[in-house]
Amino acid sequence: MSGYPRFRGKPIRPTDGMLRAAAGLFRLHGKVGELLPLERVLCAAFFKEPDRVPVAHFLLGAARRLTGISYREFSRQPEAAAEAYLAANEIIGGDVLYTVIDLSVEAADFGQEMVYPDTSTAHPDYRRPLIASVDDYGRLDPFDPRRAPRMGMCLRLAGILRRKAGLRYPVMGFIFGPLGVLSMMRGTQRLFVDCLRYPEKVKEALEVITEVLVEYARAFCDAGVDSVMLDTLFASRSGVSRELWVEMEGVYARRIAEEIRRQGVLVSLHNCGTRPYLDLQLEYIRPRLVSLADLPDDCSSLKELKEKYGRKTALAGMIPTEAFLLDTPRGIEQRAREQMRVLAPGGGYVLAPACEYPPNGDLVNALALVRAAEVHGRYPLKGG
Amino acid sequence: MSVEEDILEALAAAVRDGRDEEVEEKCLQALRAGVEPTEVVREGLCRGMRNAGELYERNEYFLPELLLASEAMHSGIRTLSPFLRRSETTAEGEAVVLGVVEGDVHEIGKNLVAVMLEAEGYRVIDLGFDVSPSTFTEALERSGARILALSTMMTTTLPVMRLTVELARKMRPRPIVVVGGAPLTPALAKDMGADGYGENAAGAPALLRSLSEGWV
């Protein structure tokens, strides 16, 4: 099947209860046979043990190297990006298809000037921020993301992946959080200071951005994705204080998450900051799956993370990205085994890097990550 | 506590709390009370910034608060600059060439390192972001600085950081090279040939002090 059946252009989706029941059936099936990636990830998301631990290798920019396209093509051509993502899962393995291009997609469509390097990630032209002064916060206008160049591209990418992969792989939409989008138009340093000095001005912009992102989330759901991942980077010690995050992003991100749930789609979350505020993000966003780079600010070990949050949300991430540059395949395999031993029992776990796989890193370590799940991540886990 | 000490303490508190206008006012008040401009910098502005760094280390401050304090410190330096002799503002401390490596535009961490070093009396030659390896080495040669501090937040720019470190290590006299940024670890810094790894901005002055001791 090339995606969910549709009625009046909208995908007809199973309810949360139906997904939960299906995950239970997949768990039984996984005991005797090989599951499809979508089935495997669904099991994990509903705290069931699938046939093996699912893997999300987070090969984004690195995927383009498998089909020989430049970063510029990857950043601007949905067909080329889709081909790269599909090649990543076919060649390397992996259980998730992404629609992430870079963190400037939304900001570019608000009018932020961009730089598109050939061998590195596209980014804003920081010398020419769209919001050059405090007064510019009030000058953002809402628009339809379906008709916008870069967000429209990601929506087309989601549609292509859904059509080409059918219901084999879960397709994940991706939205940078409102405060993150604003940082791309103002510069993080200026934005942080403005949050303290001119909070009401900043909120004017956040209102408009949230309005657009809610519509963007709806459009991803219409494109047939299985989940939409929100990135709330600044909810961490490397961002702003807990109180400031709630005021400046939590309340806005909640509106986006509610819209995703209203569309019957699973909410996921990514936070690659240090010591993230997981409790707050669960409260405001209620994600089904969370991908982290570091332990939350209230946990001191993976074991504590599993005990405290392992039944509240499925967990992913935390294999350090630099390890994929420095470590050997054996080393990656060992790290993966250690993490699976603690986090995988009982389901609710996806093996993944802390953040994007290093775009220019050796892909042999991505193969090692996938292999670790295939060889050592079979349920029931040995020594789990 | 004397009147002068009261003013300097209030100035340090204003810097710590990021109150620009009060910082400017207290700077002028300190000068009127007869405090030497260099002492206003050292005991008011720099002390306030150090206090902000300590609060950050204790998880009581976050990046926005630290940035606010750094802006307040700079507004104080602008207020005092007409009263400081050029030699007092630019040639007092040890020089450090600082920048974000080529291909990377993330500079918050680097900016905070700059202000923490300035607060400790270092003379920072900030080359900004997206800086080529040759620009770094030229700046070292031109300034005679013996410390090079490099930052990056991306994995894609680690190779150019490595190249910059290698070029710097070939210079004679060889500078002290320290690196920092999200994708770096002490092991990676060592592997690149750096002499030190800075985990965060607040710890940068102590790192440089420890490396400088005994460096020939």
A189 to chain B: nearest residue by CA?
A: B108
B183/A321 touch (CB, cutoff 8 Å), yes or no: yes
**From the CA of B62, how many Å to the nearest CA of chain A?**
6
**From the CA of A301, how many Å to the nearest CA of chain B?**
19
Judged on CB neighbours under 10 Å (0-12, 13-18, 19+), A274 is middle
B154 to chain A: nearest residue by CA?
A: A358
Series of mean pLDDT values for 10-residue runs along chain A (384 residues): 79 90 93 96 97 97 96 95 97 97 97 91 92 98 98 98 95 98 96 97 98 98 97 95 98 98 97 96 98 98 98 97 92 97 97 95 96 96 70
DSSP 8-state code for residue B175: P
Residues of B in contact with A61 (CB under 8 A): 156
Task: Say if CB A112 and CB A129 are below 8 A apart.
Answer: yes
**From the CA of A113, how many Å to the nearest CA of chain B?**
14
Residues of B in contact with A196 (CB under 8 A): 18, 64-65, 68
Residue A2 pLDDT: 65
Which residues of chain B approach chain A closer than 8 Å at the C-beta?
Answer: 18, 59, 62-65, 67-68, 71, 103, 105-108, 111, 129, 154-159, 182-185, 187-188, 191
At B180, the pLDDT band (50, 70, 90 cuts) reads: very high
pLDDT at B97 over 60: yes
Residue B216 pLDDT: 55
Q: Which of A193, A238, A358 sits opposite B71 (nearest CB)?
A: A193
**From the CA of B87, how many Å to the nearest CA of chain A?**
30
* Crossing angle for the helix pair B47-57 and B108-119, to the nearest 10 degrees: 130
A189/B111 touch (CB, cutoff 8 Å), yes or no: yes
ipTM, two decimals, is 0.91
A240/B63 touch (CB, cutoff 8 Å), yes or no: yes
At B203, the pLDDT band (50, 70, 90 cuts) reads: confident
**From the CA of B71, how many Å to the nearest CA of chain A?**
9
Residues of A in contact with B160 (CB under 8 A): none
Residues of B in contact with A197 (CB under 8 A): 68
Give residue for tokens 């549609």.
A159
C-alpha distances (whole Å) from A319 to each of A331, A340, A359 are 11, 11, 16
pLDDT tens per residue across span B45-76:
989 998 998 999 899 999 999 999 999 998 99
C-alpha distances (whole Å) from A229 to each of A78, A96, B94 are 19, 12, 47
Q: Which of A240, A326, A360 sits opposite B156 (nearest CB)?
A: A360
A193/B155 touch (CB, cutoff 8 Å), yes or no: no
Residue A22 pLDDT: 92
Average pLDDT over residues B134-142: 96
Q: Is B111 helix (H, G, I), strand (E, B) or coil?
A: helix
B18/A196 touch (CB, cutoff 8 Å), yes or no: yes
Q: Which residues of B159-179 are buried (b: 16+ CB within 10 A; e: fewer)?
A: ebbbebbebbeeeeeebbbbb
Residues of B in contact with A359 (CB under 8 A): 155-156
B185/A322 touch (CB, cutoff 8 Å), yes or no: yes
Q: Is B213 helix (H, G, I), strand (E, B) or coil?
A: coil
Residues of A in contact with B105 (CB under 8 A): 123, 126
Residues of A in contact with B101 (CB under 8 A): none
Give residue for tokens 């204790």.
B58
Say how many CB pairs under 8 Å bridge A and B. 71
Residues of B in contact with A70 (CB under 8 A): none
Give residue for tokens 């030699």.
B87
At B87, the pLDDT band (50, 70, 90 cuts) reads: very low
Average pLDDT over residues B108-136: 91
For testing contact with chain A, the best of B62, B101, B102 (most A CBs within 10 A): B62
Which residues of chain A approach chain B closer than 8 Å at the C-beta?
Answer: 61, 117, 119-121, 123, 126, 188-189, 192-193, 195-197, 237-241, 244, 320-322, 325-326, 358-361
A240/B103 touch (CB, cutoff 8 Å), yes or no: no
A189/B67 touch (CB, cutoff 8 Å), yes or no: yes
A322/B188 touch (CB, cutoff 8 Å), yes or no: yes
Q: Which of B68, B106, B159 sits opposite A196 (nearest CB)?
A: B68
Rounded to a whole number, what is the largest CA-CA distance in chain A?
Answer: 62
pLDDT at B36 over 70: yes
Could you tell me the two tokens for A309? 């949050």
Residues of A in contact with B106 (CB under 8 A): 188
Ordered alpha helix ranges (H), chain B? 3-16, 20-32, 37-39, 47-57, 63-80, 86-90, 108-119, 133-143, 158-170, 186-192, 204-212
Residue B208 exposure: Cα atoms within 13 Å on the Cβ side? 31
Residue B92 pLDDT: 65
Residue B202 pLDDT: 81
